Structure 1
Amino acid sequence: MSREVVSRRQKAFNVERRLVKMLSSNRENYVFRVPVSGVGENFPDVFLVNNVEDRVVAFEVKTTVNSKVKVKAHQVSKLFRFLEAFKKYKTREAVIAVWFSSEGKWVFRRVDGLFASDIVITSEDESDWKP
Protein backbone atom coordinates (compact mmCIF):
# COMPACT_ATOMS: atom_id res chain seq x y z
CA MET A 1 0.00 0.00 0.00
CA SER A 2 1.43 3.36 -1.02
CA ARG A 3 2.16 6.17 1.43
CA GLU A 4 -0.41 8.34 -0.34
CA VAL A 5 -3.18 5.80 0.30
CA VAL A 6 -2.15 5.41 3.94
CA SER A 7 -2.07 9.19 4.38
CA ARG A 8 -5.53 9.57 2.81
CA ARG A 9 -6.96 6.85 5.04
CA GLN A 10 -5.37 8.43 8.12
CA LYS A 11 -6.90 11.82 7.25
CA ALA A 12 -10.32 10.22 6.74
CA PHE A 13 -9.98 8.35 10.05
CA ASN A 14 -9.09 11.58 11.87
CA VAL A 15 -12.06 13.44 10.39
CA GLU A 16 -14.43 10.60 11.29
CA ARG A 17 -13.08 10.69 14.87
CA ARG A 18 -13.59 14.48 14.94
CA LEU A 19 -17.23 14.00 13.92
CA VAL A 20 -17.76 11.26 16.52
CA LYS A 21 -16.34 13.51 19.24
CA MET A 22 -18.57 16.43 18.19
CA LEU A 23 -21.73 14.31 18.05
CA SER A 24 -20.88 12.59 21.35
CA SER A 25 -20.91 15.92 23.20
CA ASN A 26 -24.70 15.39 23.47
CA ARG A 27 -24.92 12.73 26.19
CA GLU A 28 -28.17 11.38 24.72
CA ASN A 29 -26.33 10.37 21.53
CA TYR A 30 -24.66 7.02 21.04
CA VAL A 31 -22.18 7.51 18.20
CA PHE A 32 -20.23 4.82 16.40
CA ARG A 33 -17.50 4.92 13.77
CA VAL A 34 -17.73 1.90 11.47
CA PRO A 35 -14.19 0.82 10.51
CA VAL A 36 -15.23 -1.10 7.36
CA SER A 37 -15.70 2.05 5.30
CA GLY A 38 -14.50 1.96 1.74
CA VAL A 39 -14.68 -1.81 1.26
CA GLY A 40 -18.12 -1.88 -0.32
CA GLU A 41 -20.05 -2.87 2.77
CA ASN A 42 -23.54 -1.56 3.45
CA PHE A 43 -22.42 0.46 6.43
CA PRO A 44 -22.09 4.20 6.93
CA ASP A 45 -18.82 5.76 8.03
CA VAL A 46 -20.43 6.94 11.27
CA PHE A 47 -23.86 6.48 12.77
CA LEU A 48 -25.74 8.05 15.64
CA VAL A 49 -28.58 6.64 17.74
CA ASN A 50 -30.59 8.85 20.09
CA ASN A 51 -33.25 6.85 21.95
CA VAL A 52 -34.64 9.94 23.69
CA GLU A 53 -35.34 11.64 20.34
CA ASP A 54 -36.26 8.29 18.71
CA ARG A 55 -33.74 8.97 15.95
CA VAL A 56 -30.97 7.26 14.00
CA VAL A 57 -28.63 9.07 11.60
CA ALA A 58 -26.25 7.46 9.08
CA PHE A 59 -23.30 9.56 7.86
CA GLU A 60 -21.11 9.41 4.79
CA VAL A 61 -18.04 11.40 5.83
CA LYS A 62 -15.73 13.20 3.42
CA THR A 63 -12.74 15.50 3.83
CA THR A 64 -11.09 17.70 1.24
CA VAL A 65 -8.66 20.57 0.86
CA ASN A 66 -10.59 21.65 -2.25
CA SER A 67 -13.70 23.83 -2.37
CA LYS A 68 -15.98 21.00 -3.49
CA VAL A 69 -16.37 17.26 -3.19
CA LYS A 70 -18.37 14.70 -5.16
CA VAL A 71 -20.22 11.93 -3.34
CA LYS A 72 -21.06 8.99 -5.56
CA ALA A 73 -24.65 7.74 -5.78
CA HIS A 74 -23.73 4.27 -4.43
CA GLN A 75 -22.25 5.88 -1.30
CA VAL A 76 -25.58 7.61 -0.63
CA SER A 77 -27.54 4.45 -1.39
CA LYS A 78 -25.64 2.47 1.23
CA LEU A 79 -26.88 4.89 3.90
CA PHE A 80 -30.49 4.02 3.05
CA ARG A 81 -29.77 0.29 2.97
CA PHE A 82 -28.30 0.63 6.46
CA LEU A 83 -31.26 2.68 7.74
CA GLU A 84 -33.71 -0.02 6.59
CA ALA A 85 -32.69 -2.05 9.66
CA PHE A 86 -33.96 0.72 11.96
CA LYS A 87 -37.62 0.99 10.91
CA LYS A 88 -38.80 1.21 14.52
CA TYR A 89 -37.17 4.62 14.89
CA LYS A 90 -39.48 7.55 14.22
CA THR A 91 -36.72 9.58 12.55
CA ARG A 92 -34.15 8.01 10.22
CA GLU A 93 -31.78 10.39 8.47
CA ALA A 94 -29.04 10.03 5.88
CA VAL A 95 -26.48 12.83 6.06
CA ILE A 96 -23.34 13.64 4.11
CA ALA A 97 -20.79 15.33 6.39
CA VAL A 98 -17.96 17.14 4.61
CA TRP A 99 -14.97 18.63 6.41
CA PHE A 100 -13.42 21.39 4.30
CA SER A 101 -10.01 21.34 5.97
CA SER A 102 -8.60 24.43 4.29
CA GLU A 103 -11.52 26.43 5.72
CA GLY A 104 -11.92 24.56 9.00
CA LYS A 105 -15.61 24.12 8.26
CA TRP A 106 -18.22 21.34 8.27
CA VAL A 107 -21.06 21.22 5.76
CA PHE A 108 -23.87 18.77 6.57
CA ARG A 109 -26.27 17.82 3.77
CA ARG A 110 -29.35 15.75 4.51
CA VAL A 111 -30.25 13.49 1.59
CA ASP A 112 -33.36 11.55 0.75
CA GLY A 113 -33.83 8.27 -1.05
CA LEU A 114 -34.65 9.95 -4.35
CA PHE A 115 -31.01 10.61 -5.28
CA ALA A 116 -29.90 8.35 -8.08
CA SER A 117 -26.93 10.42 -9.17
CA ASP A 118 -23.75 11.81 -7.66
CA ILE A 119 -24.02 14.79 -5.32
CA VAL A 120 -21.60 17.72 -5.30
CA ILE A 121 -21.16 19.68 -2.09
CA THR A 122 -19.21 22.93 -2.01
CA SER A 123 -17.68 24.90 0.83
CA GLU A 124 -20.12 27.70 -0.05
CA ASP A 125 -23.13 25.47 0.69
CA GLU A 126 -25.09 25.98 3.89
CA SER A 127 -25.69 23.00 6.16
CA ASP A 128 -29.29 21.79 6.26
CA TRP A 129 -28.67 19.43 9.20
CA LYS A 130 -27.44 20.50 12.62
CA PRO A 131 -25.45 18.27 15.00
Structure 2
Amino acid sequence: MSREVVNRRHRAFNVERRLVKMLSANKENHVFRVPVSGVGENFPDVFLVNNIEDRIVAFEVKTTSNSKVKVKAYQISKLFRFLEAFKKYSRREAVLAVWFSSESKWVFKKVDTLLSEDIVVTCDEESTWVPNIRGR
Protein backbone atom coordinates (compact mmCIF):
# COMPACT_ATOMS: atom_id res chain seq x y z
CA MET A 1 0.00 0.00 0.00
CA SER A 2 1.43 3.37 -0.96
CA ARG A 3 2.25 6.02 1.59
CA GLU A 4 -0.36 8.32 0.01
CA VAL A 5 -3.12 5.73 0.48
CA VAL A 6 -2.08 5.16 4.09
CA ASN A 7 -2.11 8.91 4.79
CA ARG A 8 -5.54 9.29 3.14
CA ARG A 9 -6.98 6.45 5.23
CA HIS A 10 -5.48 7.91 8.39
CA ARG A 11 -7.06 11.32 7.66
CA ALA A 12 -10.42 9.68 6.94
CA PHE A 13 -10.22 7.68 10.17
CA ASN A 14 -9.48 10.85 12.18
CA VAL A 15 -12.39 12.73 10.60
CA GLU A 16 -14.78 9.83 11.29
CA ARG A 17 -13.60 9.82 14.92
CA ARG A 18 -14.13 13.59 15.10
CA LEU A 19 -17.72 13.15 13.87
CA VAL A 20 -18.38 10.35 16.37
CA LYS A 21 -17.07 12.50 19.22
CA MET A 22 -19.19 15.49 18.17
CA LEU A 23 -22.40 13.46 17.79
CA SER A 24 -21.75 11.62 21.07
CA ALA A 25 -21.89 14.91 22.97
CA ASN A 26 -25.65 14.30 23.06
CA LYS A 27 -25.93 11.45 25.57
CA GLU A 28 -29.18 10.30 23.91
CA ASN A 29 -27.21 9.48 20.75
CA HIS A 30 -25.58 6.10 20.33
CA VAL A 31 -22.94 6.63 17.66
CA PHE A 32 -20.92 3.93 15.90
CA ARG A 33 -18.02 4.08 13.47
CA VAL A 34 -18.06 1.14 11.06
CA PRO A 35 -14.45 0.29 10.11
CA VAL A 36 -15.24 -1.50 6.83
CA SER A 37 -15.13 1.49 4.50
CA GLY A 38 -13.88 0.79 1.01
CA VAL A 39 -14.50 -2.95 1.04
CA GLY A 40 -17.86 -2.85 -0.73
CA GLU A 41 -19.98 -3.62 2.32
CA ASN A 42 -23.46 -2.19 2.76
CA PHE A 43 -22.51 -0.20 5.83
CA PRO A 44 -22.20 3.53 6.34
CA ASP A 45 -18.97 5.04 7.66
CA VAL A 46 -20.77 6.17 10.82
CA PHE A 47 -24.30 5.73 12.09
CA LEU A 48 -26.30 7.27 14.89
CA VAL A 49 -29.26 5.83 16.76
CA ASN A 50 -31.41 7.97 19.04
CA ASN A 51 -34.26 5.95 20.56
CA ILE A 52 -35.77 9.00 22.28
CA GLU A 53 -36.14 10.77 18.92
CA ASP A 54 -37.07 7.49 17.13
CA ARG A 55 -34.26 8.18 14.67
CA ILE A 56 -31.41 6.45 12.86
CA VAL A 57 -28.93 8.36 10.70
CA ALA A 58 -26.42 6.80 8.29
CA PHE A 59 -23.41 8.91 7.31
CA GLU A 60 -21.04 8.81 4.37
CA VAL A 61 -18.04 10.77 5.65
CA LYS A 62 -15.58 12.63 3.44
CA THR A 63 -12.67 14.95 4.09
CA THR A 64 -10.89 17.24 1.67
CA SER A 65 -8.57 20.21 1.59
CA ASN A 66 -10.24 21.30 -1.67
CA SER A 67 -13.35 23.45 -1.96
CA LYS A 68 -15.53 20.56 -3.20
CA VAL A 69 -15.80 16.81 -3.07
CA LYS A 70 -17.70 14.29 -5.17
CA VAL A 71 -19.67 11.53 -3.46
CA LYS A 72 -20.26 8.58 -5.74
CA ALA A 73 -23.80 7.32 -6.32
CA TYR A 74 -22.93 3.83 -5.04
CA GLN A 75 -21.74 5.34 -1.74
CA ILE A 76 -25.10 7.06 -1.36
CA SER A 77 -27.04 3.92 -2.27
CA LYS A 78 -25.29 1.94 0.48
CA LEU A 79 -26.74 4.38 3.02
CA PHE A 80 -30.26 3.63 1.79
CA ARG A 81 -29.61 -0.14 1.74
CA PHE A 82 -28.42 0.08 5.35
CA LEU A 83 -31.42 2.16 6.47
CA GLU A 84 -33.85 -0.26 4.78
CA ALA A 85 -33.18 -2.76 7.58
CA PHE A 86 -34.36 -0.31 10.25
CA LYS A 87 -38.02 0.25 9.39
CA LYS A 88 -38.84 0.37 13.11
CA TYR A 89 -37.54 3.95 13.20
CA SER A 90 -39.92 6.65 12.02
CA ARG A 91 -36.97 8.90 11.11
CA ARG A 92 -34.40 7.24 8.84
CA GLU A 93 -31.92 9.71 7.40
CA ALA A 94 -29.05 9.44 4.91
CA VAL A 95 -26.49 12.21 5.38
CA LEU A 96 -23.27 13.18 3.62
CA ALA A 97 -20.85 14.61 6.19
CA VAL A 98 -17.96 16.50 4.62
CA TRP A 99 -15.09 18.00 6.60
CA PHE A 100 -13.44 20.81 4.66
CA SER A 101 -10.08 20.93 6.40
CA SER A 102 -8.91 24.17 4.76
CA GLU A 103 -12.03 25.92 6.15
CA SER A 104 -12.26 23.91 9.41
CA LYS A 105 -15.91 23.43 8.55
CA TRP A 106 -18.46 20.62 8.38
CA VAL A 107 -21.12 20.57 5.68
CA PHE A 108 -23.94 18.09 6.29
CA LYS A 109 -26.11 17.30 3.30
CA LYS A 110 -29.24 15.24 3.84
CA VAL A 111 -30.12 13.01 0.89
CA ASP A 112 -33.87 12.41 0.72
CA THR A 113 -34.08 10.07 -2.26
CA LEU A 114 -31.89 7.47 -3.85
CA LEU A 115 -30.18 9.00 -6.85
CA SER A 116 -28.42 7.39 -9.78
CA GLU A 117 -25.86 10.17 -10.04
CA ASP A 118 -22.92 11.42 -8.00
CA ILE A 119 -23.39 14.42 -5.71
CA VAL A 120 -20.89 17.27 -5.39
CA VAL A 121 -20.69 19.02 -2.03
CA THR A 122 -18.96 22.40 -1.84
CA CYS A 123 -17.58 24.27 1.15
CA ASP A 124 -19.82 27.25 0.32
CA GLU A 125 -23.02 25.23 0.85
CA GLU A 126 -25.18 25.56 3.91
CA SER A 127 -25.86 22.32 5.74
CA THR A 128 -29.27 20.76 5.08
CA TRP A 129 -29.01 18.55 8.17
CA VAL A 130 -28.08 19.77 11.65
CA PRO A 131 -26.79 17.43 14.35
CA ASN A 132 -28.66 17.52 17.67
CA ILE A 133 -25.67 17.55 19.98
CA ARG A 134 -27.42 19.06 23.00
CA GLY A 135 -30.11 16.49 23.84
CA ARG A 136 -33.33 17.38 25.57
TM-score calculated relative to the size of structure 2: 0.95
Number of the residue aligned with 1:122: 122
1:73, 1:112 → 2: CA distance? 13
2:68 is aligned to: 68
Greater CA drift, 75-84 or 105-114: 105-114
Q: Deviations over 1:101-127 (max 9, x none)?
A: 000000000002231100000000000
- Contact 1:65–1:102 (8 Å) recurs in 2: yes
Q: Which amino acid letter does the alignment assign opposite residue 84 of structure 1?
A: E
Partner AA of 2:105 in structure 1: K
The corresponding residue for 1:88 is 88
Secondary structure (helix, strand or coil) at the match of 1:86 reads coil
Aligned residues: 131
Q: 1:98 — aligned with what?
A: 98
Q: 2:80, 2:114 within 8 Å by CA — same for their partners in 1?
A: no
Aligned to 1:4: 4
Structure-1 separation of matches of 2:69 and 2:41 = 21
Q: Is the Cα contact below 8 Å between 2:17 and 2:33 reproduced in 1?
A: yes
Which blocks of at least 5 consecutive residues in structure 2 are unaligned? 132-136
**CA contact under 8 A between 1:77 and 1:113: conserved in structure 2?**
no
Question: Given the alignment of the two structures, is residue 30 of structure 1 paired with residue 26 of structure 2, yes or no?
Answer: no
Segment of structure 1 superposing worse, 108-117 or 15-24: 108-117
Give unpaired runs (5+ residues) of structure 1.
Answer: none
Q: CA RMSD in A?
A: 0.5
TM-score normalized with structure 1 length: 0.99
| Deviation for aligned residue 1:72 | 0.3
Q: Could you tell me which amino acid in structure 2 is paired with residue 46 of structure 1?
A: V
